[in-house]
Chains A and B, each alone.
Chain A
C-alpha cells in the first residue's frame, strides 16, 4: 500500500514536470514565432489575465461565499493606476492633449511590477473602505451594492473633474505592453500561486468556514466581519493587478472597458469553471476566452453551393456561444470542475470511467 502511494507521488511529480515543460515549450515556441502567432498569443495572454481575476472572484464568491459583483470596478482602479504610472513621460503630453495633465502626476512613473502592485494596493484600499458598509449585507443585496460601487468607480473615472488624471472619456493610450508572453505567464503564476497558498492556509479554512455556516463560524471564534473584509480586500488586490495587466495587454483603456459586462464575463468564467475551484476558474478563463474567438467563424458569411446561409452574419457567434453555455450549465450544473481541483488522479479516473462505460456498452 505504502509502495503504491509513493509510486503515485512519483508519477504525479513526473507528470507535473511534464506539464510545466509543455507550457513553457508552447510559450517558448509562440515567443520565438511571435509574428506568425500574434493572434494565438493574444488569446492566451487575455485568458491568463482573465484567469487571475476569475480566481480572485472565486476567492470571494466561491470560497468565502460572498456574492460580490464589484470585480470590474477594482480592475478599473488597478488599470488606471498602472497606466498612469507606466505611460512614458515623454508621451504624456500627446496622451493628455485635450485637457492637459495634472502636475501632480506629470512626472510620476514607476517600473511595471511596482506599478502593478500599487494598482493592486489602490484597489485593495478602496475595497477596504467599500467593505465596511457593504459586507454587512447578505447575498443578493451584497451583489447589488458591490455592482453599484463598481459603477460609481467607473463613473468617477469618467467624470470631467478627473480629466487631468484619467483623461476622461478619451481614455489613456501609449501604455507600454508586455515584453513577452513569459512576463504575463510569470505574473499570472505568481498571482494565482499566492491565492492558492492563501486558500490552503489557516485563513483559507476560515473563509470556507464562513461560507459553510456563519453562525457556527462565529461560535468557533471567527470574527465574521474581519474575515469577510480580509477576503474582499485580498480579492480586490488581485483584481487590481489583473486590471493593470489588462491595461498593459490592451495598451489603451477607457472607462468603457470596465463596464458591468466585464464583471459578467468574469462571473461566467467562474461559474463555467466551477464555483469554489481554482483550477476550474483557470480552465474556464481559457475555455470562455478561446471559445469566443474560435467561434468567430460563425460571424463570417457562409456560402454553401452558391447559396449564402442567412444566419451566418456578425453577432451569430454570440448566439452559438450562449447556446453552448446553456448546454454546459444544464449538463454540468456545478461547472466543469465542481468544487474539485485538478489532479492527475482525477484525470486518470475520468478516462478509466470512460473506458469502463465504453466496455459496458460493448457488452
Chain B
C-alpha cells in the first residue's frame, strides 16, 4: 500500500450544545481511508454525541463535519447513509419484529432503482432479485444465513450485534461507525469481535471508526486513538502513546489533585 493518506472523515472544531450544556467542545479529528480509529473516553464524555453529529441525527452548533471532502452540514441521516457512512447503535436498534433476512433486505433498498409503482406492480423483479441475492450473499458471508427466517429480537445478544453490523454493511458503506460494538460481551466474544472487525475491514475495504470501552479490543486493532473527556479532546495518537499519557490515565482513573 502506498503511504498517501486519503482523508475520509474530518471534524473541524465541532461544537455541540444542548441549551446550556456543551456536549462537545471544539472537537477536531481525522479518519483516513482503510484505518481503524477508536474514540474513547469516560461515560458522558460526548462520544455518542460525536457519532450523532457525523450521521446527521444532530446538527452541530458550529464547526464542520466533512466526508471525503463533502460538507455534511444540513444533510439528513438518510442522505448521509447514501453517501457511504453506515453505523450501529450503542443499544441495538434492529427491526425487532422482522426476520433476519428482511432486516438486511431493507438496507439493500438504498441502492435500488425502482419506484412505488414498479415495486407494487412487480415490474422491478430484476431489482428485487438482485437485492435478495445480495442479501443472501451477505448473510452467508456473515454466517447468519441459517438464521434468515428467525425474528430479529429472538436472536441471542451477540448475534443481534452481528446482525446489526451485517445490516450496516448492506448499505455498501465506505465508512463504518461502530458504537460500542463489544458492549455486554465476555472476553471470548470480545476477542472474536476484534478479529471480526479487522476481517470485515479488509473484506469490504472499509474504514472503521468506533467507540469502545474494552481496552483490549481498542489497543489491539486501532491504528490511532482519540480520547474525549467532558466534550474535549484530551489526547490522540497510537495505542502506546495513549497508554502512557498521564492526562488519559487521570481521566480514566480520576487522579487526585496532589498526584
Contact = CB atoms under 8 A, between A and B. Distances in A.
A362 B169 CA distance: 55
Interface in B85-111: 86-87, 89, 93-98, 102, 105-107, 109-110
Nearest to B128: A202
A197 interface: yes
A213 B97 CA distance: 10
Nearest to B119: A201
A221 B120 contact: no
Given A212-B98, A216-B93, A221 B116 contact: no
A347 interface: no
A305 interface: no
B119 A218 contact: no
Nearest to B92: A216
A194 B117 CA distance: 10
Interface string B46-72: 000000000101000000000000000
Interface string A180-221: 000000000000001001100111011011001101111111
A223 interface: yes
Interface range, A side: 20 to 34
Contacts of A198: 116, 119-120
B120 A201 contact: yes
From B89, B93, B168, residue with most partner A Cβ within 10 Å = B93
A203 B116 contact: yes
A339 interface: yes
Contacts of A206: 106, 109
B93 A197 contact: no
B82 A208 contact: no
Interface range, B side: 35 or more
Contact of B106 (A220, A223, A234): A220
A110 interface: no
Contact of A218 (B81, B112, B167): B81
B120 A215 contact: no
A112 interface: no
Contacts of A230: 116
A221 B171 CA distance: 8
A290 interface: no
B119 A212 contact: no
A283 B113 CA distance: 36
B119 A220 contact: no
A213 to B, nearest CB: 5
Contacts of B171: 220-221
Contact of A202 (B76, B78, B109): B109
A198 B122 CA distance: 9
B124 interface: yes
Interface of A: 194, 197-198, 201-203, 205-206, 208-209, 212-213, 215-224, 230, 234, 339
8 contacts: A197-B121, A197-B122, A201-B119, A206-B106, A212-B97, A220-B107, A221-B110, A339-B97
Given A203-B116, A220-B107, A220-B170, 16 more contacts: A197-B120, A197-B122, A202-B112, A203-B119, A205-B102, A208-B97, A208-B102, A209-B95, A209-B106, A213-B94, A213-B96, A216-B89, A216-B93, A217-B95, A219-B93, A220-B106
